[in-house]
Chains A and B, each alone.
Chain A
Amino acid sequence: MGLTETDILRGTETDRSGYFRITDLEPGRYYVRAFRLGFSEVSQVFVLEGNEAGLVAVELVLPRAVLELEGFEVEAERSRERTRFEEEAGATVREITGAELKTIPGLAEKDPLRAIEVLPGVVSTSDFTSAFNVRGGSADQNLILLDGVPVFNPFHLGGLFSVFNGDMVGRAELLSGGFPAQYGGRVSSVLTVESDAGTGDFGLDAAASLLSSRVAVGGGLPESWENGMGLNTARWRVSARRSYFDVLLGPAVDFPYTLTDLQGVFEAWTKGGSRFAISAYTGADRVDFAGSSSEEDGFPLKVDWSWGNDVVGATWSTPWARGGGGLDLRASFSRFDNGLFFPDFGDTELASFIDQSDLSAEVHGRIARRWLFRTGLAASRYSFDNSFKSGGTTFAAGSGDGWLSSGFFQAEYQRGTDWILELGLRGEQWAPSAGEDVFFLAPRIAVKRFLAGGEGAVKFATGRFSQFLHSVRDEEIPLGIDVWVLTGDRAPYVTSNQVQAGVEWFLADDWFLSVEGYGRTFDGVITVNQAEDPNDPLDDFLQGDGYSYGADLYLRKDGSDLSGWITVSWLQARRTFPDPLLGVFPAPENEIAPVFDRRLDVDLVLRKTLPWWGVESGLRWNFGTGLPYTRPLANFGYYGPELVSGGRLKWGGEVPEEEGDGPGEEAFGLILGPKNGERYPAYHRLDISFRKVFEKDWGYLAPYLDILNVYNQRNVLFYFYELEKDPAVRSGVSMFPVLPTLGLEIRWR
């Protein structure tokens, strides 16, 4: 917006419904221009009279048009960062766009969750998992939203890949701290993944990688349909993805694993300006060793194992007042289930299930000239059911449900480019089916003081956060599937007090710097009680607490030629739990460094269009100091009584019957050193990617090559201490070796 058609006095970005606001304007005549990818630019003049109480409503309608893509994208990136800087005080938000995602090197495919690892404050404990930890929080303390709907276990193949198809991702935003009162449910971070609904014009994307093949189709509705339904415009996009490990590996080995995803999004705007959106996802992993040939192929058991998410959400947003106010209604459902069965043994099942249904309403608008507000109510129902049964006995089980009723009020005061003050209060009532009701009040306060004429700012935020569910997955195992439990009489709820302060600065037009320090407490975290009493249904989990503190630096450069960022994250995290492995009852408490306690983590991400044939390139270099592990001090032969032989003891292993039969089955017990008292060597890895777009009349072809771990660094996944050998040796396995992967994207339009 400016005083003439060409100058830029102020800028902003609309929300998803197309609403925008620009504050603190002097009376006068202004030009407002609006532009968006896929639409023609539109400008309009308006006059702000001195007696209009500061409010003028301007409606702009953008006709569809083909726009120059590259230049537009770069400008939009700068705008979002700048808009957040100017309009938000507390939340620490970092974003990866769909375009950035395409040039961040990935494992076979572009994966938003793996890409999140390059953001400040984020730690990944292994190459083998897309799970991540933010600022000393556990992986289950990240709220992962697909178009606003929580996804419980957003991973395929035990965490190797995320469920998010890179082709369908518009952007991924990570709120790593200071999030305002409208966010609840998890205490560590909020990751929002927004689907790309396309432009409304028909288009078809197809791609093939070493992991899967995928296709996405999008378009709009015929004009007659739109008119018939009272719509101004509508667009939709659906995608499907399937792996083909089973096909590729078929000639060599029977590997009956498949992953499938089906995702869709639909958005429509009414002629009255309301927006309606539906987003849905269903995905499944399946390991099917149920065929009769499994034994011949070396796998002794018939296994039928499947797991996956089903997610659907609908949102209705409508304007309700001048100044950009509106009402948002949302309903959603999310479910994750996991079942492992053995067809030959009906007495065995490992099953895990959780679902969440939500209804919410939010109202936002303006209280006074400088005050904005957002308030809302929500009701959520959760239920879970886990069981591990075999041989007629139950090894572990739990089930229950609960209602979470919540309300929040968030107010923002902004005084031009001087101050922003955010005050929020969130109230939550948790009513579990087993256990006492909990009422939790969570105040949130944030303040930002702009400096240097609005080019820099200092910021501070503090708040309380709560969480009423846990995953009991052992984060020390690199691949795994979340098993969720609700809080109640068996598990406490998590509370977290958090404070953060920092500086943000636009050093030049295309440089942005952020330095932020933080401190967090975590009360009510749990771990599995390895010494639980089978007679006590309430001691399955051990309650603990923890804390973390650290600092994150983020330096970003935007530009059409070279762009990227560097992050430096320093973290100290601790957890305190009773230690049942000592065999002392009651178990003494033990403060440990959790497996994600990476003291220093550095990420460098660069994107550059190379001078040769317009090849787009990406580079990521990651350095992290060593993660903690528990070193064995000794091991010993393990014996057990054989009752049918009068209780005499027998070694639990098997000695090979003949020379050359291999080592036999070994049975050794360990005596451990201090829990997580040692650290693996530092981790570092360089990844690069190349992508070339061949423009065609009908669309484009884009082959790409990603190379992970270019210099083949042997980063340690595990050490194996074989102390029974003479001399004792330490071996181990590394994470990814150098790993090139190829793929091809095709777009028809």
Chain B
Amino acid sequence: MRRTSSWTGFGRVLGLLPLFAAAAGCELTEVVTEEAEDAVVAEIYVYIDGNEVTARALLHRTFTQNQAPPAAEIVISRPADGRTARLSADAPEACTFGLQPDRIVGSCYTAGGDEIGWVRPGDILEVRADLGPDGSLRGRTTTPADFTVVQPAEFGGDGVPTCRIEPLTNIQFRWTSAEGTWAYLTETLIQGLDEISGDSTVANLVLTGLALSAADTTILYPANYGVFDRFDLDQEVSRLLQQGLPGGTEAQVEILAADRNATNWNRQGAFNPSGLIRIPSLQGEGTGVFSAGVVYGFRVVAATAGSPEALDENGVEFPSCGPPIDPSNPPS
């Protein structure tokens, strides 16, 4: 699967100027410097998807000689009623697709089912990670309120809710505002583009869209997706997606109401030539993020009405995702 998304890759546009400056200068001699500080990095996410709640905590370390996987006791609690959930050690694959680069060694903790099913949209949650000799980390967040997708208004299919979009057209996704949301992060996994473009790297293409603030509850699909990928993505594919999904492709869409902590951790902070600055939401002996969000997902197929691709396994046509929209003149 090709993952090209990054929330804030658009900063590269602005990054061109210092790069130009750097290019015009000369490289300085590389010198060995003192080793970095050893600290634990924890990325802890709680997601509410319908009635299903999952919590994942990926712990790893800054780059030092010490790459022992951090051991932790992680407890998520709701101060309002004192309910708690203790995350259990799990296989790394439960948290991540793989630890890269090779030097990183991490540990994974998860919780699901009834263990953490009491978490509801709008909850204030706290986390404490006791790291043994590495100290501890603490964090707090407010889960965004629930929201519903109002366009597409209807879905079909027996499994994943599915709607139909006319090939090479754009539609507007709309949802209700979720209080406490700092940003709606939405992803789409488009499948079948390789057959149209002949480029195998876009067989499973993941693109990101973003709507900032609780009140920004619309996005054009698919033209507004891939906003952070425009420097990387094949330009023919990119231009094609400005028109719409080609017929025969289908896509998974997820919309996340993200809290303050996720927004701050994912957006780039101030400029530093050595790398990206993340704004943490875990305090203590280390750094990291503790975030809780509400997710809504559905499926889109690009097919002309009446065509075989527009029918579900029972021969029933998927409902339309919505009326076509001109990307150059989207509704306000």
Contacts and interface: CB of A to CB of B under 8 A. Distances in A.
B34 interface: yes
Given A395-B212, A717-B25, A477 B271 contact: yes
Contacts of B61: 636
A721 interface: yes
Contacts of B47: 641, 647
A581 interface: yes
B17 interface: yes
B330 interface: yes
Contact of A719 (B254, B263, B273, B276): B273
Contact of A637 (B18, B95, B101): B101
A392 B242 CA distance: 12
The winner among A342, A647, A724, A734 for most chain B CB atoms within 10 A is A647
A615 interface: no
B227 A348 contact: yes
B172 to A, nearest CB: 9
B150 to A, nearest CB: 16
Nearest to A390: B227
Interface stretch (A399-407, A561-569, A668-676): A668-676
B39 A671 contact: yes
A480 B96 CA distance: 38
B213 A639 contact: no
B232 interface: yes
Contacts of B330: 392
Contact of A644 (B65, B206, B274): B206
Given A530-B269, A644-B188, A670-B274, A649 B10 contact: no
Interface in A375-416: 390-395
Contacts of A728: 32-36, 63
Contacts of B176: none
Contacts of B38: 634
Contacts of A477: 17-18, 271
B62 A671 contact: yes
A438 interface: no
B174 to A, nearest CB: 12
Contacts of A300: 230-232, 235
Contacts of A652: 6
A480 B20 CA distance: 11
B80 interface: no
B225 interface: yes
Contacts of B33: 721, 723, 727-730
A105 B213 CA distance: 51
A583 interface: yes
A531 interface: yes
Contact of A634 (B25, B39, B96): B39
B301 interface: no
Interface string B317-332: 0000000000110100
Contacts of B212: 393-395, 534
A714 B61 CA distance: 35
Given A394-B212, A530-B279, A720-B274, A347 B96 contact: no
B63 A648 contact: no
Contacts of A347: 220, 223-224, 227, 327
A533 interface: yes
Contacts of B54: 646-647
B7 interface: yes
Nearest to A583: B280
A727 B65 CA distance: 9
Interface stretch (B114-122, B126-134, B179-187): B179-187
A295 interface: yes
Contacts of A729: 30-33
Interface in A345-377: 345-348, 350
A740 to B, nearest CB: 15
B216 interface: yes
Given A391-B209, A583-B279, A723-B36, A670 B272 contact: yes
A278 interface: no
A225 interface: no
B97 A645 contact: yes
A2 B238 CA distance: 80
A735 B18 CA distance: 12
Contacts of B18: 477-479, 718
B273 A720 contact: yes
A392 B220 contact: yes
B143 interface: no
Contact of A392 (B6, B211, B297): B211
Contacts of A640: 6-7, 266
Contacts of A644: 187-189, 206, 252, 254
A648 B224 CA distance: 24
B103 interface: yes
A282 B38 CA distance: 55
Interface in A639-665: 639-653, 655
B275 A731 contact: no
Given A637-B60, A720-B274, A735 B103 contact: no
Contacts of B56: 647-649
A635 interface: yes
The winner among A478, A644, A645, A671 for most chain B CB atoms within 10 A is A644
Contacts of B210: 391, 393
A629 to B, nearest CB: 9
Nearest to A657: B201
Contacts of A528: 270
Contacts of A649: 43, 45, 56, 58, 95-97
Given A391-B227, A393-B210, A636-B60, A643 B295 contact: yes
A729 B61 CA distance: 18
Contacts of A295: 235
A42 interface: no
A417 to B, nearest CB: 51
Nearest to B251: A644
A534 B274 contact: no
B37 A671 contact: yes
B27 A635 contact: no
Interface of B: 1, 3, 6-7, 10, 13, 17-18, 20-22, 24-39, 41, 43, 45, 47, 54, 56, 58, 60-65, 94-101, 103-104, 181-183, 185-189, 206, 209-216, 218-220, 223-227, 230-232, 235, 238-239, 242, 252, 254, 256, 260, 263-264, 266-267, 269-283, 287, 295, 297, 327-328, 330
18 contacts: A295-B235, A346-B242, A474-B271, A476-B271, A530-B277, A534-B182, A583-B280, A634-B38, A639-B96, A650-B97, A672-B272, A723-B62, A724-B101, A724-B103, A728-B63, A733-B25, A733-B28, A734-B27
Given A530-B269, A733-B28, 9 more contacts: A346-B242, A531-B269, A534-B213, A582-B280, A632-B272, A634-B36, A716-B28, A721-B33, A735-B25
Give 7 closest A-B pairs by Cβ, nearest first.
A391-B227, A392-B224, A634-B62, A634-B36, A534-B213, A643-B254, A723-B36
